Structure 1
């Protein structure tokens, strides 16, 4: 057992493609080409099937015709009346155009077209009306044969749910044939429809355009009609509210005596009148008091009252003064004629005195009248002032009540204004009803197409070719992903981080036709200079130099699974080493298969188990391989035992004895994943050669087996490939020496 640390599958022993080397600079084009060439038959087969399918579909497809109708959104509107429409027109924006395109694709519009053209009765869109094809007829016949009830006709009576489902299928078929596209960044929308009949395609495309415009008009009609109905209802409500508000104002005005005329309340008018009258009576009072004060002042100054202003204006006083003047003149005449004591004189004087008394009496009466006038004026002024005060109190109360009145009037005015605005809008919408216009127009109606739009043979074949190439590449990629075996030395080094020890060719791929029936060990003896023998010698050299500084003397050959070519490779290595003059012995350690016996055609009586059991000596059990000169320690016919014979001291002693007797000891062991014996044998070997069958052994199995060997402490020298098809490797195995086999195979002798 050696002390060398075993190489683990995850250890970085070789530089990967990302660590340098030819593949580290980028994509290895040669490798990709090799991978593709390896799967070229699969690629061609898949591509051919897809291409044939595309050709068949194209040639068998029913010709379809596409008719296109063009619509545009109006960017200019006609204003017949200067009123705002209930439903505003569309703005010419990108989002609006895209929205209208989606409306053209809506199911509701498709249903209207179906109903308008009665497309439910068209077999092209209603599959239930079509004549049954061969397959459908066969299914129907089988159903009748087994007594299943089949419908007599597609027009049979359907339930409401089934009828709706059938209608929805027709609508789906219509929508599948419809194409709506915007012409660049313009406001033009192209509505295309595809049908088996060119005239039908044009008719349906035009119907789509007409129904779209009609739907716009109906939307505006409905909006205007609904607006008028709502406005009318609202006006009725507002009219009642106006009447109620105005009645509330008048009732409150009457209840609070807030009646008015000419814009002012009656109380305000009354106060105004009282103010005017009070000013008048005050002026009259002041005038009367002034006349009275003047008269009293004159009398107080010693006047006899004749110069009082009122007396001067009195007709009585004037008459009395005229009589006094006449009597005074007569008294003067009588005095000069008769003297003072004359009776006429005395009578005249008495008359004069009587007139003066009358004048004084009249003056006193005038003064008394002035005093009465002043008193009356004062009373009128007081009365008028009282009435004014009372009116002002009433006005104050009215002003307090007017706060609520103003609130009621404002409420009535707001309701009246709202009613008037609704009334105006109702009149506008009523006048605009019936003159609505659609927001789009037909630029170009669909014409009957003269040529089929489908199938497009050049396009279909081009797409078929592209799909064929894509399917072929996908198949190649899938095959590569599903290919879990190892193919080249590069695969081994990159996936398992172990050296590639060499590749043993499949004899049929390198031998001449007359030699292909030979077994590989016999072929080595027969053709020692052949490429097959050289491949085995190369593997032997790689094994011997796998541990620099260590002598490789005991080699264990194993694999992950059975039938990997271990025994054949082991015997070939033994014969090649013997041909090189090395004392070599091959020990068959596979207790269950004993393939060495089969290859050599021997059935010995004693073998490895007998040597370990001490029932036979090594010298008696070892056999000479006469064709090559190598020695073989086979297994006897009945050598299987359940005992652990490889972990015993006897096994250690045997290997030590073989080291002394031979230069090279080759141990042919069982598969690692199948038998645990190999772990014990591998730990006692200088190197373990792990063999994997070319393109067959799964990577997971190899990794699992290597992990088992690692845990047992065995030193895995590397991985070798067996049964390599050199012809295939020469075509596809880029990255492996076999890729160049076609260049160097003539170097070997036949």
Structure 2
């Protein structure tokens, strides 16, 4: 038979509990001693530190970032003035707090020789100094220079005493310094302000000098580059015949001249051709040549024409006087023919000259045209070279522009040297403080109180977090999601002077709160467990020493006192402690019944205090292998179910022994006992895991040995919270008694 399953209250993983003020108060109540101890310790430390603290004085110098800038020259500054916006002001506050500025102050004021900042100088009087004060040792003449590590420590000490703050959203910055000496505090605060302003001037001066040097160096490079580029341009012009005059290249000028010469030559050819054609047409028409236009201007022709005219007159004169055969007439005619022949010859010579002149003009025209073609070819070549020339000239022009820009900026920068202004100015020097600024007793006490309360609360929270045990019903249901079925009080917490054992106390004081806890436990098991009746209850625990046997005995006796038929079976094969717990001496036991050597009725022993029956494990009985997995156990449990109202199986712990898991499968209800605030919750978790691995679900968890006084401080969410309210309801034995009530009745 499987264990009876019970369902715990619904659990929501994403549930966030509200702050429980009463729960917090309960935590504080149960951890009050720890809380008060931590609070007292922290408060004592704060008070002691305040009393022993050395008084210190704070002096404050005031500087202001000036958004206005003075400009002597019209040129822009190399390092522009700071814009006085909020991030810049905050940045300057960080600059004032920088270690670099603190180191400069240390060096300027030689603070490494001040014992207030140099811990090495704070040492007590040495043997040499004591002897020197007594005149028994010479004075030291040499002092050792501080090491870099010591200087670093001095700078750290100075920085810790420096406070820099901005006055609201203004441009004003307050520089405060704290020192044991008020005058020293004022001097150091002023030094921070002065060196801060000086540092700004130095930064601008150094920036100007760096810019001037950089520009000068760059100018030399640009000058050499410009010279190289311009030389390359000129050399390229020479190599490619791109020299120019009057805005045009020589080739372009040659082409222009050739064009003019060609036009003139062609015009001359046309003129010579026209004159030759005219003369040839006139000769072709039968002219004797004396009327040809080109002959009219010939002196020879004119002379021959005059001679012919003279001869013609003589011939005409002779014709009137002589016959044609007259010798003189014949001679005159012959002379006329000779003159005509000379005119014709001279005319032909002139025409030949025209032809020769035309040929010369044509050859001259061809020569000019050839030269023009060559010049045009050269111009085409020059055009291709001009693309490269344009590139070289652009490079040269760019170099010149860049060089001139750098030259102008260099001259502007040079004029700024020595004219820089700081972006901050000193508004007020530090005044000599008249009262110490620390320790601030009211503030220290307030902070100490807050720290003490916080430390106390932290200690309480840490103690609660480190508590590995199970304390409340909420712990059970939250951590394990298993039903909480009750709490068994620690007997000493409800009966201060009880001398009886718990098992005997249940019988001797049936109306006590201790006994009521077991009656309540039985009710939780029997009436609220499952859909079917619960008769067989397996009582187990995660670890030994949890009180499971005592719980089983007390549960059985309490039920027997109520009139139920109860049998308590010892199933812990290793401890076999039920006989001792109930003070019985059994001759036969469980194993004898299981192996069939003894009848059940002979092995049952009656409890001397109640009507409960006991089936024990005798010490002489041998232990067979897998005793609880046998059919004999099933038959025995079936018989016990028929004979008793409640069968309680006192089993072994779950973690060290597997027997309890076997028996748990046969029980109707599995009760897991955990010792209050002692059993680690990890052990309980592992026990539940092992049971679940055996297909067994724990019916409930009972907390054992609960200190009810302390449990009542765990918050109103636990039933024990109301213990003080209902404890008087129970009839407890008098404090002077041995734990027995006797015949007294219970108070309702």
Relative to the length of structure 2, the TM-score reads: 0.71
Instruction: Give the 3 Å change call, closer, same or farther, for CA 292–687 of structure 1 in structure 2.
Output: closer
- Residue 482 of structure 1 corresponds to 466
8 Å Cα contact 1:589/1:670 also seen in 2: yes
CA–CA distance in structure 1, aligned partners of residues 704 and 272 of structure 2: 153
Contact residue 245 and residue 411 of structure 1 kept, 8 A = no
**How far did residue 375 of structure 1 move?**
5.8
The answer on 1:80 being equivalent to 2:73 is yes
The CA distance in 2 between the partners of 1:652 and 1:277, in whole Å, is: 146
Counterpart position of 1:16 = 10
Cα deviation, 1:425-479, whole Å, max 9, x if unaligned, reads 2420331123447797115567427667776666666555555555444444443
Match of 1:267 among 254, 273, 276: 254
* Map 1:41-80 → 2, pairs under 5 A: 41=32, 42-50=34-42, 52-53=44-45, 63=56, 65=58, 72=65, 78=71, 80=73
Call closer, same or farther: CA 1:303–1:456 in 2, change over 3 Å.
same
Give distance in 2, aligned partners of 1:521 and 1:60: 61
**1:499 to partner: Cα distance:** 3.3
Match of 1:396 in 2: 376
Q: Does residue 385 in structure 1 map to residue 368 in structure 2?
A: no
Tell me the distance in 2 between the aligned counterparts of 1:505 and 1:304. 171
Q: Which residue of 1 aligns with 2:705?
A: 723
SS in 2 for 1:558: strand
- C-alpha separation between the residues in 2 aligned to 1:305 and 1:397? 45
Cα distance in 2 between the residues matched to 1:225 and 1:653: 110
Residues 175-234 of structure 1: CA deviation (Å, up to 9, x unaligned):
777778888888x59585755434324423542343245224423431332122122123
User: CA shift at 1:424, angstroms?
Assistant: 1.3
Q: Distance in 1 between matches of 2:20 and 2:247?
A: 109
Q: Could you tell me which of 536, 539, 547 is aligned with 2:521?
A: 539
Per-residue CA distance 1:487-546 (angstroms, 9 max, x = gap) = 2334334444443332222223223x5x44444344444443332232232223333324
Equivalent residue, structure 1, for 2:27: 36
Q: Which runs of 5+ in 1 are unaligned?
A: 138-152, 333-338, 342-348
Partner secondary structure for residue 722 of structure 1: strand
How do 1:269-418 and structure 2 match up within 5 A? Answer: 270-271=257-258, 274-275=261-262, 278=265, 281=268, 285=272, 300=287, 310=297, 374=354, 378=358, 381-382=361-362, 384-403=364-383, 406-407=386-387, 409-418=389-398
Q: Is the 8 A contact 2:63 2:424 kept in 1?
A: yes
SS in 2 for 1:118: helix
- Aligned counterparts of 1:116 and 1:715: Cα–Cα separation in 2: 76
* CA 1:282–1:618: 2 relative to 1, 3 Å: closer
Q: 2:476 aligned with 1:492, yes or no? A: yes
Give the secondary-structure state (helix, strand or coil) at the position aligned to 1:486.
coil
Hey, what does 1:625 align to over in structure 2?
608
Verify: 1:520 aligned to 2:502, yes or no.
yes
| Matched residue, 1:744 | 726
Q: Post-superposition shift, 1:584?
A: 4.3
- Tell whether 2:210 aligns with 1:222: yes
TM-score (norm 1): 0.71
User: How far off is 1:594 after superposition?
Assistant: 5.9
Instruction: Determine if contact 2:262/2:369 at 8 Å carries over to the other structure.
Output: no
- 1:234 is aligned to 222
Does structure 1 conserve the Cα–Cα contact (< 8 Å) formed by 2:63 and 2:174? Answer: yes
Given that 1:284 and 1:377 are in contact with CA atoms closer than 8 Å, whether structure 2 keeps it comes out as no
Query: Structure 1's 179 and 633: CA in aligned 2 closer, same or farther, altered over 3 A?
Result: same
**Alignment partners' CA distance in 2, 1:284 and 1:69:** 105
Contact 1:557 1:689 in 2 (8 A): yes
Tell me if the contact between 2:540 and 2:650 (Cα under 8 Å) persists in the aligned partners: yes
Structure 1 position 723, deviation (Å): 1.6
Q: 1:15 to 1:610 in 2, by over 3 A?
A: closer
Indicate conservation of the 8 Å contact 1:305/1:363, yes or no: no
Distance in 1 of aligned mates of 2:445 and 2:465: 29
Structure 2 partner of 1:442: 424
Q: 1:377 to 1:58 in 2, by over 3 A?
A: farther
Contact 1:121/1:129 (8 A) holds in 2: no
**Structure 1 residue 55, shift from structure 2 partner:** 5.2
Output the CA distance in 1 between the equivalents of 2:524 and 2:710. 24
The separation in 2 between residues aligned to 1:172 and 1:691, in whole angstroms, is: 61
Contact 1:6 1:716 (8 Å CA) reproduced = yes
1:122 corresponding residue in structure 2:
111
In structure 2, the residue matched to 1:572 is 554
Q: CA deviation at 1:482?
A: 2.9
Contact 1:646 1:681 in 2 (8 A): no
Counterpart-to-counterpart distance in 2, 1:481 and 1:615: 54
Contact 1:193 1:202 in 2 (8 A): no
Aligned residue in 1 for 2:736: none
Report what 2:196 is aligned to: 208
1:562 to 539, 544, 550: 544
**Alignment size in residue pairs:** 697
1:431 aligns with 2:411: yes
SS at match of 2:713: helix
Could you give the per-residue CA deviations for residues 563-609 of structure 1, whole angstroms, max 9, x where no partner exists? 32334334433443343344545555556556556556x57474637
8 Å Cα contact 2:570/2:576 also seen in 1: yes
- 2:120 equivalent to 1:131: yes
Aligned residue in 2 for 1:505: 489
User: What value does the CA root-mean-square deviation take over the aligned residues?
Assistant: 5.8
Cα 1:741–1:98 change in 2 (3 A) is same
CA distance in 2, matches of 1:400, 1:179: 81
Using the TM superposition, give the Cα deviation of residue 131 of structure 1 relative to its aligned residue in structure 2, in angstroms.
2.8
For residues 89-168 of structure 1, the aligned pairs below 5 Å read 89=80, 97=88, 104=95, 110-111=99-100, 114-115=103-104, 117-118=106-107, 122-123=111-112, 129-131=118-120, 155=144, 163=148
Whether the aligned pair in 1 keeps the contact of 2:3 and 2:666 (CA below 8 Å) is no
Gaps of 5+ in 2: 127-141, 180-184, 323-328, 733-748
Contact 2:474 2:718 in 1 (8 A): yes
Specify which of 3, 6, 14 is matched with residue 6 of structure 1. Answer: 3
